[in-house]
Structure formats: C-alpha cells, structure tokens
Amino acid sequence: GAGVSQSPRYKVAKRGQDVALRCDPISGHVSLFWYQQALGQGPEFLTYFQNEAQLDKSGLPSDRFFAERPEGSVSTLKIQRTQQEDSAVYLCASSIQTGVGNQPQHFGDGTRLSIL
Amino acid sequence: EDKVVQSPLSLVVHEGDTVTLNCSYEVTNFRSLLWYKQEKKAPTFLFMLTSSGIEKKSGRLSSILDKKELFSILNITATQTGDSAIYLCAVLIQGAQKLVFGQGTRLTINP
C-alpha cells in the first residue's frame, strides 16, 4: 500500500493476556521502527530493524516485549502477560534509510492498546 | 541522556495569527532534526533539517535549525483551523537510527 499499515487499530485486553500487534511497512522500505506513545507524551523508541535484523532493542521496557520481522517486511510486536502500564498507542514507522543518507521515517496510524 | 524539549506545551490562537513553536535539544550524536504534525492518527512528516541556518519552507510553514545554540523553530503564518494539531519535534541520533521526540506542542486555532 501507499503508507505504513498497522492492525488492529484498537485492542482491548485483560491484564495478563498476551497481545500481538502487526505492522506492514511501505513497500521497499528497509528500516522499520516501533515506538510507544503514552497519552500526552511524544513517542518513545522501542526497537529498530534493518531488513530482518533487529539492530537495536534498547527501548523495549521489559522482557515481556518481543518484536520480530522474519522476512524483512511485515513486523509483529508481541507483549506477553500485559500490565496496565502497557496501555498506550504503539506506532510503527518505516524508512528507505539503510544507514547512510537522510530519509525521514513515515508513521502508521498506530494501535491503541488498552489493558483492563 | 538524550533530551528534546518543546515549548510551549500548549498554544491557543485565533485564525490568521502567526505562531512560532520551539524545540531545543541535548543529544550525544546529532544527525538531523525533524518536525511532524500529529492529528488524531499518524504523525505526518513536515521537515527534516540537517544544516544550520538554512530555512525550509512549505506553503505557510517554515523551519530553521541552529546547531550552535541547539534549537529549531517552526513557524506557521496565517494560521487556519486545519493547522490545529500536536506538533512533534524529534532528533535523529547518528548511528542509532532512532528518533528522540519532544513532548509535543498542542496548537489550537480558533475561528
């Protein structure tokens, strides 16, 4: 598609359940990023892929968070044993950038996750 | 710790006014600074600034970067109600590829 596509748009889960959030980047974009945006805050970096390689996962808040991009295209962010503090909008972004040159990251609409 | 600070956090003006949004940063390894507009959905890209003193312009919006004083401004002239949004400033960290965002400025344009 023309832009970054994320699904589902909204997800409600009970505390303790596992969730999986999907991101379809812009076709041909090598780099893929996940961010977490709490209400009233700017997005915070979670993790970064270049093709299928996860090059930076320094922003993942705990070992309950896991991301993968097995074929270098679609990515999934999984959160195990969800907690209330996981409630946020999860944004995915992609860029052509491969580590050289400056290209902006383009964002999807996000998945709004609510943990009850 | 890398930090990006935006001011003001909130701004309410009348249609037709000119606004200036501020962004200052302290980061270990600066590569470029980006501005995004966020309405109810995805942040949409506005500008990327890498060099000091060169103004980027798109219609009524313009932005400039000062790498010596470590700040950027985003100007919007002749504001319209459709400019109401959260404006996010972010710094791209060299090597790390990640964006470090400020808290955003919520701009409201009243008719």
Is B33 part of the contact surface with chain A (CB cutoff 8 Å)? no
Distance of CA B63 to the CA centre of its chain: 8
> Which site among A34, A48, A58, A107 would you substitute to test the B interface, given the most B Cβ atoms closer than 10 Å to its Cβ?
A107
Query: Which residues in chain A belong to E strands, given as ranges?
Result: 5-7, 10-13, 19-24, 31-37, 44-50, 53-56, 65-68, 75-79, 88-95, 106-107, 111-115
d(CA A4, CA B103): 23
Whether residue B9 is predicted with pLDDT greater than 90 in this model: the reply is yes
DSSP B23-92: EEEE-SSEEEEEEEEESSS-EEEEEEE-STT--EEETTEEEEEETTTTEEEEEE-S--GGG-EEEEEEEE
Q: Give the pLDDT confidence score for residue B94 in this predicted structure.
A: 85
Whether residue A100 is predicted with pLDDT greater than 60 in this model: the reply is no
Range A73-82 average pLDDT: 97
Handedness of CA A25, A27, A32, A35 (dihedral sign): negative
Q: At A98, is the pLDDT very low, low, confident or very high (cuts 50, 70, 90)?
A: low
d(CA B47, CA B58): 9
Q: Give the pLDDT confidence score for residue A99 in this predicted structure.
A: 54
Chains A & B: contacts with CB separation below 8 Å: 63
Chain B residues inside the 8 Å CB shell of A97: 97
3-state secondary structure at position A28? coil
Q: At B12, is the pLDDT very low, low, confident or very high (cuts 50, 70, 90)?
A: very high
Q: How many other CB atoms are there within 10 angstroms of residue B3's CB atom?
A: 11
